[in-house]
Structure 1
């Protein structure tokens, strides 16, 4: 009998080593932060790792084959056909073992969609491995960054527009005031010019609103009667909304709130525009109501952000398409929008919410699909009204006889300033060059009682001129005017010794008041 002995110890060691490596690889794949799927050449899945199941909600029982996965992950037939065509092309062209990266929108088992970066490797034996990385948050952050960059560009553009437009408005408003000064009070021409002035001042507030939105200007809150602001906004809306949308208003005089009228106007416009978008296909009714309310502890439960007290309640109601609760719960989130791409930024209602909170109020929404939406806003009332402000507006303008040097590089505005101040009784000399003004002042520093200068001028800015003047005569009163300046603010102006700081366009009352304050 012949026997043969073969030492298989090395083979066993190799098998054991392979088993150990397989175990290590299994642990690695199971713990991978990427979803991993392994499919055979028959297109049936052999393995889905835990992360895959976590990402999409599907396991091997739900999607035993590649075809099942494609139907569920890409339910839109047209999109699915595009995916299949790309998959076949990739399978035909890719070299074994080489990963190609592509990004697709995948529908999960719960109906949500995720942006997924997919890498596929086609192996020599016909099998393929696919990894899935959820990049939804990354894309969301990239979109937010792009939006922030757009807002930064808008801010830069707004600053440039503000300076030029405010200079134009200065001439329109200023010369309209001068003409009205020469007309009989109450005449038809005077009344017409009053409308020109009102429109000019509204344009001034619009520029201020643009700068506020781009975070380049602060807004002042004053006592206002909000129903008057709402009436003005609705008058503007009526001319812009289609006739298929009826506007019903019930605006009860509701007392006084401390607010910026331009921002309250913006709240109304945004809420009503939002209502219009909900009704533009079929038309409907936009109802705006305002009334004073007193919230006690029982009503406060429904509005937990509010304390008990007196409020002005604004209600904007539409008969549009409405929205489900999951949308209503996110409607005030920044960048959240239900509009199609290119129709909205997702910032409108977020801005509204921010304005209302800045006014110590609150906003709520009630809506159901097919039954329209109701937005309810509460603003806290204040005890005193705006009567004192109106009285000061109607008071006689302060005048004087001092000698003033008025500096502006635009001859039209320089001439306007001279005539405006002469009407108030002042003696005025004009310079259209900052360097000429400095030379004139240096010759006789005691000649002038006050300097009024523009900020943005060639060769030398208003702030540079002011510092040079103060070196010659440290106690000279200076007023700085600007349509808009990136580098100058009221705080910075006063820090270098400037007495008063005025934004263009200004009315005669603003300048008259600033002069007397500067000369004190």
Structure 2
């Protein structure tokens, strides 16, 4: 009868898997070269100590139990174990056992082959670790990541989606991202499936409380091995903050554009206004001196002056809005300003609007430009009156101490304008401070009023809040920072009267009408005037007679020699002569250059007779006092 010993050793050695043979009693018969190479023991070592005692001594009985089951049942399933190899590494292996038969079919022993799974296990562990890392990355992404099939049904999502939707798998794109059951008209994801290109879109969502959210949605198509599009990966992340910042940037760019426009037109426009206002004041003076009693004639002059002043105020509003005009702040109690505006509103608004007030005169002083605060309050009251319209309504103005917030140490001053008008929707509130935005009928509003208010209050270091409800009304709340309690301050400056004087003034402006009207105004105040239209001629005239003039009054923008350059040259000839600079456009850099050049005062055209008299009197008086 053939025995296992007749098994061909060469055939065993040709098998690359480690293999060994046992007889029916479990005694070691032989093994192939792959087995010896794997474990590093000789046949003699194995026969003496036992194969399982050398391979896996802790589990020797387990291996023999599998052998017993094989001989009893004729088969046994593969099972895993571990073996320390010659490389001193513990290898993960699979033991596969089968019966060894004689030529007549009798079971004569057991053949065991060993499959080394170490590399496979390492790959599996690496794959598991890789998948775990990828999952952590995808789940840690601050947004939604979804794999959609060609029908835009979700087949895989990250954890953020599970937190957002109860059962996202199988749901459609619009349900997961937008939360509704209809297709999104602005969605770009289907385009990724159609075109095979990456698409980027923005979805606008509205929460239950009415707040707006914005999501950036990126669709990336996935192709199979044939290049056909089989799915799309969608990444959606909230960009509400970025959207708001972009909106603020666009708003700032609008401001910058307006500033550029304002600077470009202000100079020329103010040069046009100067003779209109100047000659109107001269007409009014002459009418008084000549004793003209025609009230209609005087009313015509007043109307011309009022129209010119409105045009001047419009330019000042644009310049203030664009930050091109210089802010003249001083410490003020602002309750006189508030009372003055309320008084003006009472006579200008219809009697159907009831004006109420609540003014705390001891609410504290603030550092403000009184003219601009007056302008702010006028704009807010006018806006409220327009919101009430022809209906009966109430306009309430309150000045007092603002509630102290947790992060504030001092009490701010609060100025409120509240009306019972038509109110505004949330969409209108979002745009209420945008330049040129208005809800008024064409021709009734410029859209600059509230933008100007916002600009002025922001530059004063304050803030403005607005609350509105359609059909109920609107409340604007202005908060101005306080000043130290021991700081001295002035009451609102009272208007000075026209002041005459004596002296010889050298006047230069490249606009003939400006030279003419300014000269007439100065002469009406009692001054002698030498008017020239060229800065070069003015320099020559002063060089010939440097002591004949008490004041140089010059325009800023002139050909060949600007007002600042003229001042520098004049100061070389006569350092003590006072210089008054007129300009149609005031800019901070220009003011600094003017001071460096030795210019004593500057004034924005068109200037009123009152302001002109005050400036000239101040400069000539100071100069004569210094020379005595």
Over residues 29-81 of structure 1, what are the superposed CA-to-partner deviations in whole Å (9 max), with x where a residue is unaligned? 2233453113456754343213445xxx523x2433232x4146346788625
> 1:317 — aligned with what?
419
> 1:145 — aligned with what?
249
Pick 1 or 2: higher relative contact order, CA cutoff 8 A, min separation 6.
1
Q: Could you tell me how far 1:399 is from its partner in structure 2? A: 1.4
C-alpha separation in 2, matches of 1:124 and 1:361: 60
C-alpha separation in 2, matches of 1:30 and 1:458: 68
> 2:115 — aligned with what?
7
CA distance change for structure 1 residues 81 and 171 in 2, over 3 Å: closer, same or farther? closer
176-185 vs 112-121, greater mean Cα deviation: 112-121
Q: Does 1:32 align with 2:146?
A: no
Q: Could you tell me how far 1:144 is from its partner in structure 2? A: 2.1
Task: Please show how residues 118-157 of structure 1 align to structure 2 within 5 Å.
Answer: 118-124=218-224, 126-157=230-261
Select which of 149, 156, 168 maps to 1:63.
Answer: 168
C-alpha separation in 2, matches of 1:5 and 1:41: 48
Q: Does 1:474 align with 2:575?
A: yes
C-alpha separation in 2, matches of 1:366 and 1:407: 52
Q: Does 1:206 align with 2:310?
A: no
Select which of 200, 205, 227 maps to 1:102.
Answer: 200
Task: Please show how residues 186-197 of structure 1 align to structure 2 within 5 Å.
Answer: 187=293, 188=295, 189-197=297-305
Q: Does 1:158 align with 2:262?
A: yes
Q: Could you tell me how far 1:17 is from its partner in structure 2? A: 3.8
CA distance change for structure 1 residues 49 and 448 in 2, over 3 Å: closer, same or farther? same
C-alpha separation in 2, matches of 1:76 and 1:122: 26
Q: Could you tell me how far 1:4 is from its partner in structure 2? A: 9.0
Q: Could you tell me how far 1:200 is from its partner in structure 2? A: 2.4
Contact map agreement 2:325 2:587 (CA 8 A) in 1: no
Task: Please show how residues 10-25 of structure 1 align to structure 2 within 5 Å.
Answer: 10-25=119-134
> 1:389 — aligned with what?
494
Over residues 244-295 of structure 1, what are the superposed CA-to-partner deviations in whole Å (9 max), with x where a residue is unaligned? x963334699989976244333334246536756x78xx85442234788x7
Q: Does 1:417 align with 2:527?
A: no
Structure 1: gaps (5+ residues): 239-244
C-alpha separation in 2, matches of 1:137 and 1:317: 32
Select which of 194, 202, 226 maps to 2:338.
Answer: 226
> 1:241 — aligned with what?
none
CA distance change for structure 1 residues 508 and 88 in 2, over 3 Å: closer, same or farther? closer
C-alpha separation in 1, matches of 2:190 and 2:458: 54
Over residues 5-47 of structure 1, what are the superposed CA-to-partner deviations in whole Å (9 max), with x where a residue is unaligned? 5735354444444334333332332233453113456754343
109-118 vs 420-429, greater mean Cα deviation: 109-118
C-alpha separation in 2, matches of 1:419 and 1:42: 84
Task: Please show how residues 229-268 of structure 1 align to structure 2 within 5 Å.
Answer: 229-230=341-342, 232=344, 247-250=353-356, 260-268=370-378
Over residues 110-132 of structure 1, what are the superposed CA-to-partner deviations in whole Å (9 max), with x where a residue is unaligned? 67522313132324283443222
Q: Could you tell me how far 1:410 is from its partner in structure 2? A: 0.9
Q: Could you tell me how far 1:168 is from its partner in structure 2? A: 1.4
Task: Please show how residues 82-97 of structure 1 align to structure 2 within 5 Å.
Answer: 83=187, 87-94=189-196
Over residues 360-393 of structure 1, what are the superposed CA-to-partner deviations in whole Å (9 max), with x where a residue is unaligned? 998776655653334466999x99876x824x32
Q: Could you tell me how far 1:436 is from its partner in structure 2? A: 1.3
- DSSP-derived class of the 1:445 partner: coil
CA distance change for structure 1 residues 109 and 17 in 2, over 3 Å: closer, same or farther? farther
Select which of 545, 554, 568 maps to 1:453.
Answer: 554
Structure 2: gaps (5+ residues): 1-99, 102-110, 440-446, 483-487, 623-628
CA distance change for structure 1 residues 442 and 359 in 2, over 3 Å: closer, same or farther? closer
Task: Please show how residues 295-306 of structure 1 align to structure 2 within 5 Å.
Answer: none
CA distance change for structure 1 residues 274 and 40 in 2, over 3 Å: closer, same or farther? farther
> 2:47 — aligned with what?
none
Q: Could you tell me how far 1:483 is from its partner in structure 2? A: 1.3
C-alpha separation in 1, matches of 2:434 and 2:182: 19
CA distance change for structure 1 residues 272 and 177 in 2, over 3 Å: closer, same or farther? closer
Q: RMSD of the TM alignment (CA)? A: 4.5
C-alpha separation in 2, matches of 1:505 and 1:342: 25
> 2:104 — aligned with what?
none
Q: Could you tell me how far 1:507 is from its partner in structure 2? A: 2.0
CA distance change for structure 1 residues 150 and 319 in 2, over 3 Å: closer, same or farther? closer
486-495 vs 130-139, greater mean Cα deviation: 486-495
Could you tell me the TM-score, scaled by structure 1's length? 0.75
C-alpha separation in 2, matches of 1:167 and 1:341: 26
How many residues are treated as equivalent by the alignment?
Answer: 481
Question: Which of structures 1 and 2 has the bigger CA Rg?
Answer: 2
Q: Does 1:463 align with 2:568?
A: no
> 1:178 — aligned with what?
282
> 2:59 — aligned with what?
none
